Structure 1
């Protein structure tokens, strides 16, 4: 049924067409003022396969006929980021994690236009995607004959040990998109969402916690903290005892920590700061000193929310960090602060200042496809 179709990195025109198609569905939802500003967001004009010097370039992939791969009448599209990883193998693994820098991929923006829905195109695209993200050697069986020839694997692809996505379609849809018929694809992993009401938090924080030596970080400074944090994540993985099962963590450097900044540039008076760090971490460059990075969820017809995307903080300093964030957030009409997968040692302190813990749901279903040999894997530092 699908043998006449395959997946291809989008041409320049196809990448623009994919954004035009999803403008009504996603562009307006994210508050872009017009279609062109949505088209111009990062990745559209650099949508071909990235080179080694542009590690995190976004690549638009399309499902198209084999006899006309550059057509603008393609069936569906998605977007893929290549991302740096830190991986720890379980004790006794015969794979050397230091032999090659591990690679992971983030998948998003899966979209089929209304006139092509109900035909299984998106599911087939996602099934084929495994065969360009992971080494063929990671699959126990050859490419299914009924799907035709395997897709061509371009430079910098076919090396992944994991791919992830966030499902807005429940836990089963992407799980059913495996590399073979009947084989699992992306599996939902549990995520705990901690949220605070800004006004409640400001009232509950003790007076002595409101005093601290903190520096707010402009957009350009975020990358410095992300680089420090990435080095620390890598060092922690290398020095920790071998885990009982494989673990992986995406590294926030090389622009990943700054991904969300584009989404508020189009608003009047966009926020200036995207993080906070102790003055010690800024002046002494001591790894591990407290900091927090965040993004802004300013979506039409929804309460303004601040998402904490990365947090390194002791239990004792958590109220001070959160007070500084909440006090700044209030200036922009932000009513809620959210954090994913807060470390266990911080949860009790978070509750004292109004934090509520729930399981992430809706469009927030983080899902993983592991291509390594291990049967079990844990996603560390998944903070959005």
Structure 2
């Protein structure tokens, strides 16, 4: 009989004996078993347990990058205590910048997998868990750099997390494209895993340059860096599912077009929320990061076009070819849509002028990016402008 079956006399959510701790290996299995019905996607329980363990060993999560938190009674021993709520936090390299373009390397924690077992719901444990977490994350893993905030991607109403201090981002928009069986354009080459380190390195250089540009009227900007660890975390998760479903892993991790200095590239991942042969599985090819070299409207606050030369017309062709490659990949891999979060103003205009079918969606009930932001003294402050609210940062 498990510990959660033994202890039925639980403290109230405001009881001082409740605190955040970290689970044992056996308690992790218990958590994953409980969450499998919500987040198992296309995997059966044994595969989901295997995936959950695997995801602790890959970039972004390994070497302390991911921390699992549990709300428990401090008077009870490990492996013999009810876990009334749990979640994970991810250490994310980030940048802030002020109106004058002074850039600082900082840390943002990503909060994921907040879960309260059904038998413990309605008692305020999740709210207590998050309040404790907000307090601890202010200085958690601050050896590398100052912690400036934490972000979550909620699938419940915006008001719940807002009341706890995580304020929804003003926009949570994405473009959605249908899968398309089409030959790959001669303009496009596949992005393979071996290409990712260099592309991420170049991308970070462009982001740092944009964040160093003055932004009059903008008190503070923040961006989570789209580094290799972020890309590989999503890609490894997608690869695990594709290996399970199809007994093979897709080679293409994205697409690239154009010569150096004018290149357009996308890095993507395959997400199977259900079996590909099920009715309406709603599986998605997520474009984790889209880069257009020379796009001065990129890496800027939403709605800011930036300044600089007009991009050559061929870059619109490169963008269209890259997006069509994503549509073709979705069709080949039995995915039901392609989603691109928060593209730049230039990309939005180029898509609208292209021949590509698309819908624009403002998310109101799922993957709502929200942030809690800390001031110099650790107090909660008003949100900075969040740059690049793209899918690579989701966790």
Length-normalised TM-score, structure 1: 0.78
The structure-2 alpha-carbon separation of the partners of 1:52 and 1:156, relative to structure 1 and needing over 3 Å to count, comes to farther
1:46-57 to 2 correspondences below 5 Å: 46=56, 57=65
The residue that corresponds to 1:322 in the other structure is 323
- Give the conservation status (yes or no) of the 8 Å contact 2:98–2:214: no
| 1:34-60 deviation per Cα after TM superposition (whole angstroms, max 9, x unaligned) | 32322233567859xx99995672211
Classify 1:272/1:46 alpha carbon distance in 2 versus 1 (closer, same or farther; 3 Å): closer
Structure 1 partner of 2:199: 225
Deviation readout 1:156-207 (Å, 9 max, x if unpaired):
5994202111111110111122xxxxxx3343432112112234x96xxxx9
Shift in CA distance, 123/310, structure 1 to aligned 2, threshold 3 Å: same
**Residues 1:168 and 2:146 are matched in the alignment:** no
The corresponding residue for 2:295 is none
Measured in 2, the distance between the counterparts of 1:245 and 1:279 equals 36
Distance 1:255 1:4 in 2: 37
Q: Provide the C-alpha distance between the structure 2 equivalents of 1:312 and 1:296, rounded to a whole number of angstroms.
A: 19
On the 8 A contact 1:4/1:65 being kept in 2, the answer is: yes
Q: Is the 8 A contact 1:56 1:254 kept in 2?
A: no
Partner residue, 2:255: 276
Query: Do the aligned partners of 1:57 and 1:81 also contact (CA within 8 Å) in 2?
Result: yes
How far does the alpha carbon of each residue in 1:276-331 deviate from its partner, in whole angstroms, 9 at most, with x for none?
Answer: 123645xxxx6x73210111122214233211111013444321211222233322
1:289 aligns with 263
Alpha-carbon distance in 1 for matches of 2:245, 2:154 = 27
Picking from 113, 119, 135, the partner of 1:115 is 119
CA distance in 2, matches of 1:195, 1:161: 32
Residue 42 of structure 2 corresponds to residue 31 of structure 1: yes
Partner SS for 1:174:
helix
2:107 aligns with 103
Partner of 1:130: 134
Are positions 1:191 and 2:157 aligned together?
A: no
* Deviation at residue 18 of structure 1 after TM alignment: 1.2
CA distance in 1, matches of 2:374, 2:186: 45
Q: Which residue of 1 aligns with 2:229?
A: 255
CA shift for structure 1 position 348: 2.9
- Residue 41 of structure 1 is matched in structure 2 by 51
List gaps (5 residues or longer) in structure 1.
136-152, 178-183
Which position in structure 2 is the counterpart of 1:331?
A: 332
Q: Relative to structure 1, is the Cα distance of residues 159 and 86 closer, same or farther in structure 2, using a 3 angstrom cutoff? A: closer
Q: Deviations over 1:44-102 (max 9, x none)?
A: 7859xx9999567221100011223634422110011000002112359xxx754xx30
Counterpart for residue 296 of structure 2: none
Deviations along 1:235-259, whole A, 9 cap, x unmatched? 3212444661311111122411122
Does residue 369 of structure 1 match 2:372? yes
Give the number of aligned pairs.
339
Q: Quick one: distance in 2 between partners of 1:267 and 1:165? A: 29
TM-aligned CA deviation for residue 378 of structure 1: 1.3
Q: Kindly tell me: are residues 42 and 225 of structure 1, through their superposed partners in 2, closer, same or farther at Cα, counting changes over 3 Å?
A: farther
TM-score (norm 2): 0.76
Distance in structure 2 (CA, Å) of the matches to 1:54 and 1:235: 29
8 Å CA contact 1:192–1:360 kept in 2: the answer is: yes
Q: Return the alpha-carbon distance in structure 2 between the equivalents of residues 296 and 56 of structure 1.
A: 26
Q: Distance in 2 between matches of 1:241 and 1:234?
A: 14
Measured after TM superposition, the shift of residue 217 of structure 1 is 1.9
1:266 maps to 2:244? yes
- Kept after mapping to 2: 8 A contact 1:87/1:249: yes
Tell me the C-alpha RMSD between the 2 structures. 3.1
Q: Give the Cα–Cα distance (whole angstroms) in 2 for the partners of residues 52 and 309 of structure 1.
A: 15
